[in-house]
Amino acid sequence: MNKKIFLGLITVSLLSANRTFAQSYMTEHQLDSLENSWAAMQDTLKNVEVVAQKRIVKVESDKITYSVKDDSDAKTNNVLDMLRKVPMVTVDGQDNIKVNGSSSFKVYVNGKPNAMISSNPSTILKAMPASVVKNIEVVTNPGAKYDAEGTGGILNITMLTDSSMEGYLANIYAIGGNRVNGGGVYSTIQKKKVTVSLNVGDNYLIQPKIEIENQYDNMETATKQTFKSLTKGWTNSINANTDISVDVDSLNSFSVNGGVSFTPQHTWSDALTDIRGAQNSNYSTHSNNRTRNNNFFAGADYKHNFRGGNGHSLMLAYRLSSQPTRTESESEYSVAYMPAYSETNRSNMVENTLQADYNLPLSSTMRLETGAKYIFRRNTSNTSLLNYRNANDIGALYASYGYNYKMFSSKAGVRYEHTSQKITGTENDFSIGYDNVVPTVTFGLNLKNMQNLGLSYNMRISRPGISLLNPYVNTQNPTMLEYGNPNLEAEKIHNIQLSYGMFSQKVMINASLRHNFQNNSIEKYSFSENDVMHTTYGNIAKKRNTSLNLFCSVTLTPKTKAMINGSVSYADLRSDVLGYSNSGWQGSIMANIQQDLWWKLKLSLFCFTNTPEFKLQGKSPAISVHGLNLSKSLCKDRVNLSVNTINPFASVMKIKDETRGADFSSISDVRVNMRSVIFTANIRLGNLKPKSSNASRISNEDVKEAKDSGINSVFK
């Protein structure tokens, strides 16, 4: 009969060979003695089952790391599902992702910006199995080395690769259900100095049936309009990418990477519009929309480590990305005085990026980082009525200084960015140049009993993308028009954060108090003109937000674990231009419980809910979603089977959205058929084993550290 022993953190460190963790509490001599004692006990403890909580969340002054590989749900869930558990990240019932309460963030993979995922994170991460991911980092306070863009911060997804290992590993997955069908392969081959990864996936997502009833009231003209629609559709996500890394010698490494994704989408709807006022009318509409979102990227990185070690290095990198999109819209109306509508919009964003980073250790406690970056960005949008061009060149220089001594750590830096922008194809072509100086500073303190404190300040900017700039007007619904604004400026956001972390054998807590403010926030706003509701964007608001975020994980029993990830905030929005203001409390919470059952079955349940979020002219909807996952591992965890269901106890999700102005109101009631059942099979082939080496233990760790800190962090 197996014995169950709950061992302390030091023993867990020995079992997992995590010397770094143990060394912070023990001398080298003590550690060697314990390892020798453990080796002698191995035969005695062959049948002992060790039960201990792994440190899933690691808190630092500038980032939070969630260890996906140590979460049992990762064997059968996708990455989007795992994001629901990550502190400072929320994923609502419609799969919308927010980081630090903002939907403006950047996605990195292995430390490099990934334009493919950033352009459509929900769809791509939903198709990516979590079993191929090692960590998810939330960079809450990006330093001067990182781009100033992205108000919410950075999501860095670290894949399961390790330059100190050798062999091959392939994860083959297949999924099927009433909402999604597909499969793919995530593979890695590591041989001597060469590492090759190849990932291919194809997933077909069936869009749930969406029913919308909108009531639009124009108080100025005493017009009431009722709009009812039923929409169905599908999305096909096809992607492939590869990465080849070569350790040329002990001082030089090189890598190339590239990938493509194709995301065709087709939606169709039937609608009924009824207008009551000075002139009464009603008509029906049948619409078809076909969209092809494509993405191509390629890059090359080179790193040179100077002799003497200690992280003295130079890194050079180049990246190319292109995001061509084609949208075909067609509508037919039931009345003769409204002719059929047909339009095609072709848009693209092409980026070329050059970057250099230099890292110089000044002493054992001080480090200097500096670098330069240049981005050539070209946005285009072509229709039968409009040829829009936006040339956006961004040059950047940065420098940062880090100091670490015993339990104290600090880092301060500044980044200078110059933006040159030229816009043509609109009624008023223009060019503009502006500068941004972006400071950042962090302080960290490691306390006793596995506790830490952090204090940080940074300024972030958010440049509007082509969807916000594009002045193209889609007139499929002639009574409700939406379009972009080519005159938008970059947002400037100031963030201050105080964080606390604590880890014990059974409890893990991370809490943060955060305040951010901005005076030129880009907000979506609506106005009425000739009984038509126009919706566009403008730098028209002042925004203040103070939030308290809490993550807590508790091991209730050796087989039961509970987790809570939530936030509460007070938002204040004001626009002197429009004369509107709105404020109030808002929040969200995700709760998860994992239970080990008999026959090695695992059950995981989660629920998410959020209150309405305040907009300048109303509230965004409150959304609730719940789900459960039942999984089983076979063949020594090489085969994982699961069944996952979303909203099993509430087939229809009801959403209410409100927008109000001085002379109008628009209230939408949305019903989404969210109930889904998904079956997943995941098979792991091969193994990665430590490379053979005659070097000493300390030398191996030094070489591994230099490699780990290297080429994956080039683009930041």
Res. 21: pLDDT tops 70: no
Between CA 198 and CA 161 the distance in angstroms is 12
Q: What digits encode the pLDDT tens for the residues 194-245? A: 989 999 999 999 988 899 999 989 887 788 889 999 999 999 999 999 999 9
What is residue 393's predicted lDDT score, i.e. its pLDDT?
Answer: 93
Lowest mean pLDDT among 234-238, 292-296, 506-510, 526-530: 526-530
Q: What is the mean pLDDT of the chain?
A: 82
Res. 5: pLDDT tops 70: no
- Say which residue, 470 or 16, is predicted with more confidence: 470
Q: What digits encode the pLDDT tens for the residues 306-338? A: 987 788 999 999 999 999 999 999 999 998 888
Between CA 228 and CA 662 the distance in angstroms is 24
pLDDT band at 93 (very low <50, low <70, confident <90, very high): low
Mean pLDDT over 157-186 rounds to 85
What is residue 426's predicted lDDT score, i.e. its pLDDT?
Answer: 65
Tokens of 285: 């509409």
Res. 50: pLDDT tops 80: no
Q: What digits encode the pLDDT tens for the residues 389-409? A: 888 899 999 999 999 998 899
Cβ–Cβ < 8 Å for 138, 153: yes
pTM of the model: 0.76
pLDDT more than 90, % of the chain: 39
β-strand pairing of 341-361 with 366-382: antiparallel
Q: Which amino acid is at 172?
A: I
Between CA 28 and CA 384 the distance in angstroms is 72
Question: Residue 40: beta bridge partners?
Answer: none
Instruction: List, in sequence order, every beta strand (DSSP E) within 558-646.
Output: 560-575, 580-596, 601-610, 613-615, 618-620, 624-634, 639-646
Res. 375: pLDDT tops 90: yes
pLDDT band at 41 (very low <50, low <70, confident <90, very high): very low
Lowest mean pLDDT among 98-107, 412-421, 620-629, 676-685: 98-107
Cβ–Cβ < 8 Å for 291, 265: yes
- For the chain, domains (ranges, CATH) are 3-50 (no CATH), 57-713 (2.40.170.20)
Q: Which helix (H) or strand (E) holds 97?
A: strand 97-99
**CA 536 and chain centroid, separation:** 25
Tokens of 434: 């502006």
